[in-house]
Amino acid sequence: MKKLTSLLGAGALALGASLASARAAETVKVGVLHSLSGTMAISETSLRDVLLFTFDEINAKGGVLGKKIEPVVVDGASNWPLFAEKAKQLLEQDKVAVTFGCWTSVSRKSVLPVFEKNNGLLFYPVQYEGEEESQNVCYTAEAVNQQATPAVDYYLKEGKKKFYLLGSDYVYPQTTNLVLLEYLLSKGVPLANIGGGFRKDGSGKIISAGKYTPFGHTDYQQIVAEIKQFAASGDACVISTLNGDTNVPFFKEYAASGLTAETCPVVSFSISEDEFRGLPADKLVGQLGCWTYFQSINSPANKKFVADFQAWLKKSTVPGIVKEGRVTCSPMVLSYVGVYLWKAAVEKAGSFDVDQVRAAWKSGLSFEGPGGKVTTQKNMHLTKNVYIGETKADGQFKILSSFNGVYGEPWLKGKFK
């Protein structure tokens, strides 16, 4: 019986596929590859939502090159090998023109060989560690110099002299902190004023900087006590790449030990507006964030974007979509901007062919997005604005400082001397 139903199902699918190919003349298939289940679903589902919104917005205005976008949404299920399989399916079976997807660096690394082998095109929207420049990936994401180093610049301007590095133990925090170490040393901060600890290889070269805790760590007593001693002599700050819900026990312990944003501020690179749906914002008031977009940006383009997105959510019929309390954040806006840049590249090339689209991307396209103007670069990254914001009790950020037109530079190791 079971076999029969699955056979029927397969038949229906095949029928659907042939129908779809009959319509293919008027539509262009676009892949969406995010985790819609598992641990990463909380963050990644928001990106799927904003992508579907963007496709509807573009389709309402006539689509791309006269063709309507037809999204093919697949679930990576927070399972990295599955991401590669799903990517293969998108490229080889569905033959999508472009894919928007991935959040974690490990998922990107896992799909990268698939995209390179099939000459596909992936748009990657989440802040990452750099040291990568694939011809098959358009990095709309923040490179380290579009998030971490501007935050350090801000701290230096504020007169901070001691920097404590803290992160979750995986590739993004490890690489970012190494770059930050080089950057801080190049700015004349002595090694003794950089906290968290170092790891050296046999020759005494530092191969890792900062303090690391595993995912799901709950006991931050000792680390907070160490930060308290580190900050005792004033002018200290914390640079945190802690990920996900480990931020809750950390900030609870931080507040309980009497450390505040005024005595020793923390800048977090992984907490955006969307994360505050699951984090206590009142424990983070005054702490800093650094992104290329904040929902509080006061521009007509952004106000329209936020209003349009929320109006779209209200009448959306996507099953299980969350409609209440939704916000916009940097990875969402970079997904949104990515779709429009892809559209611009396709229109410039006059074709959906990946090689021609890439050439159009490299020629330097610009788009006025909700976070300001973005421009594509030859190295597959984006020039964009960077904002520093201070957390408010409602989970929004008050913008303190901005850097306009920061060039995205993925290769930073060994750059700062």
Calculate the alpha carbon distances from 131 to 109, 115, 179, 214, 379 in Å: 12, 18, 10, 23, 12
> Which CB, 11 or 278, lies closer to another protein?
278
Angle at 301 between CA 300 and CA 306, to 5 degrees: 95
Using a 10 angstrom Cβ sphere, with 0-12 exposed, 13-18 middle and 19 or more buried, the burial of residue 245 is middle
Contact 152, 184 (CB under 8 A): yes
- Of 54 and 213, which CB lies nearer to another protein in the complex structure? 213
Q: Measured from the CB of residue 107, what is the shortest distance to another protein in angstroms? A: 19
For residue 278, give the nearest of 34, 37, 38, 43 by alpha carbon: 43
Place of tokens 């023109």: 97
Q: End-to-end distance of the chain based on CA atoms, in angstroms?
A: 69
Q: Closer CB to another protein, residue 66 or residue 202?
A: 202
The binding site for another protein (CB under 8 A) comprises: 41-42, 158, 162, 169, 192, 196-200, 202, 208, 210-214, 216-219, 221-225, 228-229, 232-235, 245, 248-249, 252-253, 255-258, 261-262, 265, 277-280, 282, 286, 288, 390, 398, 400
Q: Which is nearer to another protein, 116 or 245 (CB)?
A: 245
Closest to another protein by CB, 67 vs 160, is: 160
Is the Cβ of residue 86 or residue 160 nearer to another protein in the bound state?
160
- Give the integer Cα–Cα distance in Å for 268 and 150: 13
Per 3-state DSSP, the chain is made up of helix, strand and coil in percentages (nearest 5) of: 40, 20, 35
- Local structure of residue 93 (DSSP, 8 states): I
| C-beta of 54 vs 247, nearer to another protein | 247
- Decide whether 82 or 255 has the Cβ nearer to another protein: 255
SS3 assignment, position 116: helix
Q: How many residues does the chain have?
A: 417
The minimum distance between CB 197 and another protein, in angstroms, equals 4
DSSP string, 351-410: S--HHHHHHHHHTT-EEEETTEEEEE-TTS-EEEEEEEEEE-TTS-EEEEEEEEEE----
Report how far residue 52's alpha carbon sits from residue 316's, in angstroms, rounded to the nearest whole number: 10
Give min distance, CB of 393 to another protein, in A. Answer: 9
User: Least distance to another protein from the beta carbon of 410, Å?
Assistant: 25
Q: Give least dist CB 240 to another protein, A.
A: 15
Least Å distance, CB 326 to another protein, is: 12
User: Cβ of residue 295: shortest distance to another protein, in angstroms?
Assistant: 17
Q: How far is the CB of 355 from another protein (least distance, A)?
A: 41
Query: Is 360 within 8 Å of 167 (Cβ atoms)?
Result: no
Angle at 255 between CA 253 and CA 256, to 5 degrees: 60
The number of angstroms, rounded, from the C-alpha of 175 to the middle of its chain's C-alpha atoms is 16
Q: Which is nearer to another protein, 106 or 225 (CB)?
A: 225
CB of 392 to another protein, least distance (A): 10
96 phi, psi to nearest 5 deg: -70, 150
